[in-house]
Structure 1
Amino acid sequence: MKDILGSALQDFQNKKYTDDIITYSSLDEQDKIPIPYFFRTYDELPKLEQKALSLCRGTILDIGCGAGSHSLYLQEKGFDITALDFSQGATDVCKLRGIEKVVHSNILDYNGTKFDTLLMLMNGIGIVGKLTNLNLFLSHLKLLMKPNGQVLLDSSDIIYMYEEDDDGGYWIPDNKEYYGEVEFTMEYKGNKGKPFSWLYIDYNTLQRAALANGLECELISEGDHYDYLAKLTNAKQ
């Protein structure tokens, strides 16, 4: 079972839901991801995600769409939405749920079409993996944006997860290039997937990277637990 997420989403869609995904992280934490979380209705979404959906305009690419709940909502609102995910199981579920435009691809391999809105929710920027990959990733997003396009993304500043010293600083392991880089492994029904890198990026670091790549970065809103919603646009000439 290589496609851990996709297998879990397919089981839920096919009414075979019995287990949740277990995650193991480099932060020495074990956690669970309830599969129904990927199938939330609009009213069940956190306010940051609802805000992002309200800001969507024009043609939209939902990057890392998962089970397609955001795409489905936007499609029902009449938007021209394309749902994209690297997981074959996820894109199969999107099709079963009635999403009309679905693409199975790594975002870095996808090109040729430009959009008014690139949507990356549920910490969608996490797929960058490592901070050193961010410049390449942002450069690719620019190729997918129309001149007046926008990127809407959310992330979290996870500095709070590290131990604070008496001087107000934090103990960051020496082997970390950036404290927001986390290694995850997912397990579903006794099957473990391959470890993968996931990036949680603080807003100031995101803003600096955006400016370095000719993008303007705006903080739209902040959540209740170190999370935030940001908008990237092409810098004005």
Structure 2
Amino acid sequence: MTDPFGRAVADHYRGRRDQPLIVRDGDETREHPIEAFYFEPFDPESEAGRWLASWVRGPLLDAGAGTGRHALVFQERVETVAVDVSDSLVGVMADRGVEDARAIDMFSLREAFTRDRFGSALVVGTQAALAGSMAGLRRFLGNLAFVTDADATAVVDGYDPEHATASELLGYRDDPTPGLTHRVFHFAYEGAVSETLYFRLFSPDRLREATIGTGWTVEEVRRGDETTAHYRAALSKR
């Protein structure tokens, strides 16, 4: 499978990228930022960093870890396993010093790990929306519950469809269902085009609905910047 996103990020890391990573939806295109999104160091002493750290206990699963921004910090505190579906990104993580970086699809956690393996999980980067539906999101949360212990916590990112700026996201699709919408796009790099990525965006209330029956409860929702649709939700099994 082609991986233009992972290759572009890896080429950027190794200083050999001379073409942009493009996000495309039909005729609409945007250059995808790489340095700021994936290589700006995570600051655990910032307000947002302290909040995130307060929900982390070991062992930690960093699901969809990308370049390992968070894993690099948290592995100094607790056992951390960083997973990503992209072999290219796993290679970058390992080269950057992530001690346990694995090529694993975060939607196949039951097959990859034993029950109660982790004390907490990070799903930072809105990739949970790739579950594709409310049923898919509930299934993912159930799998995440399977691989975490009875006192586990998790942090999940999302884009809120009910926020005024949500429609500005490239690939946004209107949906009459309250708290839900669609987003569709693909990546292009050096002539290679990714498979079309389909996201089912969910509001915090819809996330709460999806947790029913999974063992998780949404404990807190944090919006660092009220001018964007992005939010971060802390979940608990306590």
Q: Could you state the TM-score of these two structures normalised by the residue count of structure 1?
A: 0.83
Deviations 1:138-171 (A, max 9, x none): 11111111110111112121333449xxxxxxx9
User: How far does residue 178 in structure 1 lie from its aligned partner after superposition?
Assistant: 7.3
Separation (CA, whole Å) in 2 of partners of 1:72 and 1:218: 26
Amino acid in structure 2 at the alignment position of 1:80: E
Deviations 1:28-71 (A, max 9, x none): 75322212121111249996466323431221010001111111
User: How far does residue 198 in structure 1 lie from its aligned partner after superposition?
Assistant: 1.9
Separation (CA, whole Å) in 1 of partners of 2:212 and 2:74: 29
Partner in structure 2 of residue 120 of structure 1: 123
User: How far does residue 136 in structure 1 lie from its aligned partner after superposition?
Assistant: 1.3
Change (3 A) 1:199 1:223: farther
Partner in structure 1 of residue 159 of structure 2: 156
Partner in structure 1 of residue 112 of structure 2: 110
User: How far does residue 199 in structure 1 lie from its aligned partner after superposition?
Assistant: 3.0
Gaps of 5+ in 2: none
Could you say what the CA RMSD is over the residues aligned between the two structures, in angstroms? Answer: 2.8
Amino acid in structure 2 at the alignment position of 1:110: A
DSSP 3-state at the match of 2:90: helix
Separation (CA, whole Å) in 1 of partners of 2:220 and 2:24: 30
Aligned-pair identity in percent equals 23
Partner in structure 1 of residue 218 of structure 2: 217
Amino acid in structure 1 at the alignment position of 2:6: G
Partner in structure 2 of residue 64 of structure 1: 64
User: How far does residue 179 in structure 1 lie from its aligned partner after superposition?
Assistant: 3.9
Partner in structure 2 of residue 32 of structure 1: 31
Partner in structure 2 of residue 185 of structure 1: 186
Change (3 A) 1:54 1:194: same
Change (3 A) 1:206 1:156: same
Matches within 5 A, 1:18-29: 18-25=18-25, 29=28
Deviations 1:104-126 (A, max 9, x none): 01121422261011101121322
User: How far does residue 219 in structure 1 lie from its aligned partner after superposition?
Assistant: 2.0
User: How far does residue 25 in structure 1 lie from its aligned partner after superposition?
Assistant: 3.6
User: How far does residue 13 in structure 1 lie from its aligned partner after superposition?
Assistant: 2.0
CA contact (8 A) 1:48 1:222 kept: no
Separation (CA, whole Å) in 1 of partners of 2:11 and 2:45: 22
Separation (CA, whole Å) in 1 of partners of 2:138 and 2:70: 26
Separation (CA, whole Å) in 1 of partners of 2:125 and 2:49: 8
User: Which piece of structure 1 moves more, 12-21 or 136-145?
Assistant: 12-21
Change (3 A) 1:64 1:49: farther
